[in-house]
């Protein structure tokens, strides 16, 4: 365990956050010994890839870095295989590994930053697919009791960029040690419905795509739209796409005929947050070291030296502007440690 540890290289926003205590965990068995070294009242923060996290300038507790690394697979049927990966495995590396083995199911989520252990917390997803679509179970250790738990699909309460692990009572309560996914060996139903994927495949002249083709298209699209966090510190989409009532949407549609939308559950409508922010004039805007990315309004970037408070203040200005213009309250997708 190390003290007064700088976490700048462990978060994609590039915040020079100082942790009072820091330790990397490479095996679940290491956790009890680590926890015995700190007072039970010491706050604990579990760190994965740091890609969906806004750290404070100073964290007064123990940062536990999940570095549990392994990938294994088991065939369960002619067309199905269960892939189990350690919580510290890089997510994109798992996607590439599964494609190399000929397994389909994760291709739409290629190049999403972060780790396997963080993926179910956020119920990560892209281009029509989410973790819940291929999820089998996860194993986790409870920090308070050191008990081991298994969570199945229904236990996780997955929602849009949401899960039971994001509830206030469960945040940083569990260290997710492994996650298992059900993938396929024969690929009859690829998800290429999103226009961007279709356009990219058409551009390449691919009419009968493989999972590898879909992943390549997703990677190309993401690289063209999102900034490299090593150049511009960021955490990807800063806000969730808001879901509003059909009545609210129809009123907005009368006022803004070009407003895009997607159907949501319970006769509701999902509106792209990026469009709302862009139309409010924030794309490319900058306040000091913080700005809105010039190619994608949904991404807030650290141009260098920004603090967590400055990033939050900038995001608040955007939220207030969108609220005033559209009557929609944007919700942060990024997990801000306040």
Q: Which of 96, 4, 94 is nearest to 48 (CA)?
A: 94
The Cα 223–Cα 46 span in angstroms is 28
Task: For 134-173, list the strands marked E by DSSP.
Answer: 135-142, 148-152
Which spans in the chain are helix H? 30-35, 91-100, 119-122, 153-156, 195-203, 211-225, 246-255, 273-279, 308-326
Which residues are 174's β-sheet partners?
A: 142
Buried b (16+ CB within 10 A) or exposed e, 128-143: ebbbbbbbebbbbbeb
The Cα 176–Cα 59 span in angstroms is 21
* Number of alpha carbons in the 13 Å side-chain half-sphere of residue 103: 23
314 token code pair: 């900038």
The string of DSSP letters for 78-101 reads TTEEEEEEETTSBHHHHHHHHHHT
The Cα 35–Cα 144 span in angstroms is 9
Contact present, 332 and 236 (Cβ < 8 Å): no
The Cα 32–Cα 141 span in angstroms is 10
What SS3 class is residue 108? helix
User: Annotated active-site positions, please?
Assistant: 161, 237, 333
74 token code pair: 């088991």
Buried b (16+ CB within 10 A) or exposed e, 190-220: bebebebbeebbeeeeeeebebbbbbbbbbb
Tokens 């065939």 identify what position? 75
């Amino acid at each position: 365990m190390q003290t007064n540890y700088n976490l700048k290289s462990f978060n994609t926003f590039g915040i020079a956050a100082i942790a009072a205590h820091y330790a990397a965990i490479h095996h679940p068995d290491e956790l009890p010994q680590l926890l015995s070294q700190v007072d039970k009242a010491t706050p604990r923060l579990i760190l994965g890839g740091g890609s969906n996290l806004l750290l404070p300038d100073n964290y007064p507790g123990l940062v536990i870095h999940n570095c549990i690394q392994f990938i294994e697979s088991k065939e369960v049927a002619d067309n199905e295989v269960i892939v189990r990966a350690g919580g510290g495995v890089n997510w994109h590396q798992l996607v590439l590994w599964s494609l190399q083995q000929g397994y389909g199911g994760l291709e739409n989520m290629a190049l999403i930053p972060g780790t396997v252990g963080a993926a179910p917390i956020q119920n990560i997803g892209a281009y029509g697919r989410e973790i819940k679509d291929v999820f089998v179970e996860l194993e986790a250790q409870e920090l308070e009791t050191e008990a081991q738990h298994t969570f199945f699909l229904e236990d996780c309460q997955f929602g849009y960029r949401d899960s039971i692990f994001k509830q206030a009572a469960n945040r940083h309560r569990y260290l997710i040690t492994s996650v298992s996914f059900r993938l396929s060996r024969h690929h009859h139903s690829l998800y290429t419905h999103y226009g961007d994927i279709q356009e990219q495949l058409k551009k390449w002249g691919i009419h009968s795509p493989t999972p590898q083709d879909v992943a390549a298209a997703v990677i190309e699209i993401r690289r063209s739209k999102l900034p490299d966090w090593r150049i511009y510190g960021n955490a990807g989409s800063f806000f969730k796409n808001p879901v509003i009532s059909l009545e609210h949407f129809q009123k907005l549609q009368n006022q803004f005929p070009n407003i895009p939308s997607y159907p949501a559950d319970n006769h509701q409508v999902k509106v792209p947050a990026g469009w709302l922010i862009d139309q409010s004039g924030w794309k490319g805007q900058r306040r000091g070291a913080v700005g809105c990315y010039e190619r994608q309004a949904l991404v807030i970037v650290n141009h260098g030296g920004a603090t967590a408070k400055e990033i939050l203040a900038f995001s608040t200005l955007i939220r207030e502007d969108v609220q005033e213009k559209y009557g929609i309250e944007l919700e942060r997708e990024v997990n801000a440690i306040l």
